[in-house]
Amino acid sequence: MNNEKQEWLKSLKVGDEVSYSTRWRGDVITKIKKITPKGWIKTEDGRTFINGYSKLDNWEGIFLYPVTEELKAKLYYIALFNKVSKTNWNEVELDKIEQIAGILGYIKEAEA
């Protein structure tokens, strides 16, 4: 582990946002719940990290990294995409669907 990463890990405090990525869940943002005297980091979602690496998932290579604005934007996009994808369009009023179709048409024209 490089010095920059070690310094970042040492600077973390309870309540700080951190991120990690898993094969199944993708990128995750969580907060630090506790830092033990040995420096183990426990997150609000139940994971424990030792020297920045997940205690139980070293085989998968799960490690902590800083939360960036790019990551927040990516996760926001994914959340919106999932919300739209899971919409039951049969329950949406026609005028709302027409508004959405108009927006999508405008976007498509702007990209051309």
- Both 34 and 85 in one domain: the answer is no
Tens-place pLDDT, residues 29-65? 999 999 999 999 999 999 999 999 887 765 667 899 9
- Both 78 and 97 in one domain: the answer is yes
pLDDT of residue 9: 94
C-alpha 29/C-alpha 18 separation (Å) is 6
Task: Find the mean pLDDT for residues 77-94.
Answer: 93
- Both 8 and 42 in one domain: the answer is yes
Domain count for the chain? 2
- Both 13 and 25 in one domain: the answer is yes
Residue 22: pLDDT band (50, 70, 90) is: confident
Q: Assign residue 9 the CATH number of its domain.
A: 2.30.30
Residue 24: pLDDT band (50, 70, 90) is: confident
- Both 85 and 54 in one domain: the answer is no
**Is residue 72 over pLDDT 80?**
yes
Residue 79: pLDDT band (50, 70, 90) is: very high
Decide which of 35, 52, 67 is a domain's last residue.
Answer: 67
- Both 76 and 105 in one domain: the answer is yes
Residue, of 66 and 62, whose pLDDT is higher: 66
- Distances in Å between the alpha carbon of 19 and those of 62, 76, 106, 110? 10, 14, 35, 35
- Both 25 and 56 in one domain: the answer is yes
pTM equals 0.76
Q: Can you give the residue range of the structural domain that contains 10? A: 1-67
Task: Confirm if 44 and 37 have CB atoms less than 8 A apart.
Answer: no
